[in-house]
Amino acid sequence: QSLKIGLVPADGIGREVIPAARTAIEALGSDIPKPQFIDLLAGFELFTKTGTALPEETIAALRECDCALFGAVSSPSKRVTGYSSPIVALRKELDLYANIRPVVSVAANPSGKPSVDLVVVRENTECLYVKQETIIATENGREARAVRLITERASRRIGRMAFELALTRPRKHVTIIHKSNVLSVTDGLFRETVRAVPRQEPGKFDDVTIAEQLVDSAVYRLFREPEIYDIMVAPNLYGDIISDAAAALVGSLGLVPSINAGDNFVMGEPVHGSAPDIAGKEIANPIASIRSAALMLRRLGYIQGADRIDNAVDEVVRQGTVLTPDLGGKSKTHEVVDAIIKRI
């Protein structure tokens, strides 16, 4: 028996950090079934060479895998004809409807508890990311519009994912992030649907407490008192923004992992992008990607393997002598990887 893992490094530092995650998985030995890695293509650079950002073969191969790791894609901020982000497409194709992003500070505060220990549970298939944008010329200049899709089905399943996750955590506290004072129809539906989740399975979520917070003040409170948050469940765009913001609180985007999860597949992915400013310099922090591998394995039930990776990473971060420049260190990517592997 083997564990078939699709690897999609894609662009920029994705190509530096995905091999790091692979090395960490290989270091686990018999804690997991023998891994079999499948290298797959996607990304903007591929698009510029071949005209395709996400080849059919990549999607087909992923469907044959047990799980996957995705690096990052570079996306031009101007519209390029024929190009659309492969990661957004993949989340849709594989119905990976939840993006789960744990943000945890490693260094404990004086009370001994990490001051940031939260999970952003981001809806991954709709909201403004359906990318239905149009532009027209009017007598007052151009006018652009975007569709924001919120469905009851997607809100319910992400809500359910958030409550299920809350049950596994000591505090069991869910905060619903929305802006229904302004967007009362779309965010109103999201909020109401997530709130109704516990009522559908009476008894199951009795221990979970529910709060809600408007997205703007949620970011404010996140910076002032991050310890109030446990699970933050949010529509796609807010979840994207909040998780990058939360990453700042724990030191670097280079530390924060995620998984894209559906009912039948899981794909690990660092929260950061392709970081063109540091790509090719061998200083990308591999930790977000390595932790994404651990999250992926944890979701598949390989708890011991996941723990070994996470503990090794925590030790390296706590020790603080082998770190990449984003964390104030002087080490190269491969030196951090070596330090982690030694501890695994």
Percentages (nearest 5) of helix, strand, coil residues in the chain: 45, 20, 35
Which residue of the set 240, 302, 310, 326 is catalytic? 240
Which residue of the set 66, 95, 244, 307 is catalytic? 244
| Cβ proximity to Mg ion, 122 vs 160, nearer residue | 122
Going from the C-alpha of 36 to that of each of 2, 6, 60, 287, the distances in angstroms are 6, 8, 17, 22
Quick check: is 95 catalytic?
A: no
Quick check: is 31 catalytic?
A: no
| Cβ proximity to ligand NAI, 194 vs 247, nearer residue | 247
Quick check: is 206 catalytic?
A: no
CB of 233 within 8 A of CB of 269?
no
How many chain residues interact with Mg ion (CB under 5 A)? 1
Distance from C-alpha of 11 to C-alpha of 85, rounded to nearest angstrom: 12
Task: Return the residue nearest ligand NAI (CB atom).
Answer: 273
Angle at 88 between CA 254 and CA 23, to 5 degrees: 40
Judged by beta carbon distances under 5 to 8 A according to partner kind, the member of Mg ion, ligand NAI, none in contact with residue 240 is: Mg ion
Q: Give the bridge partners for 36, in sequence order.
A: 4
Quick check: is 302 catalytic?
A: no
Which residue of the set 129, 229, 238, 302 is catalytic? 129
Binding site for ligand NAI (CB under 6 A): 13, 17, 72-75, 87, 253-254, 272-278, 284-285, 288, 324, 326
Q: How far is the CB of 229 from Mg ion (least distance, A)?
A: 18
SS3 of residue 230 by DSSP = coil
If we measure between CA atoms, which residue out of 87, 145, 98 comes closest to residue 124? Answer: 98
Quick check: is 92 catalytic?
A: no
Task: Return the residue nearest Mg ion (CB atom).
Answer: 240
Helix 287-299 and helix 303-319: axis angle, to 10°? 160
CB of 292 within 8 A of CB of 310?
no
| Cβ proximity to ligand NAI, 25 vs 166, nearer residue | 25
Q: How far is the CB of 85 from Mg ion (least distance, A)?
A: 11
Spatial CB neighbours of 215, under 8 Å, sequence gap ≥ 6:
177, 178, 179, 234, 238, 241, 242
| Cβ proximity to ligand NAI, 89 vs 214, nearer residue | 89
Distance from C-alpha of 280 to C-alpha of 258, rounded to nearest angstrom: 23
- Identity of residue 81: T
Judged by beta carbon distances under 5 to 8 A according to partner kind, the member of Mg ion, ligand NAI, none in contact with residue 174 is: none
Q: How far is the CB of 5 from ligand NAI (least distance, A)?
A: 18
The answer to the question of residue 240 lying near Mg ion (CB under 5 A) is yes
What is the token pair recorded at 141?
Answer: 């200049």
Q: How far is the CB of 72 from ligand NAI (least distance, A)?
A: 4
Residues that bind Mg ion (CB under 5 A): 240
Tell me which residues are annotated as active site.
Answer: 129, 179, 216, 240, 244
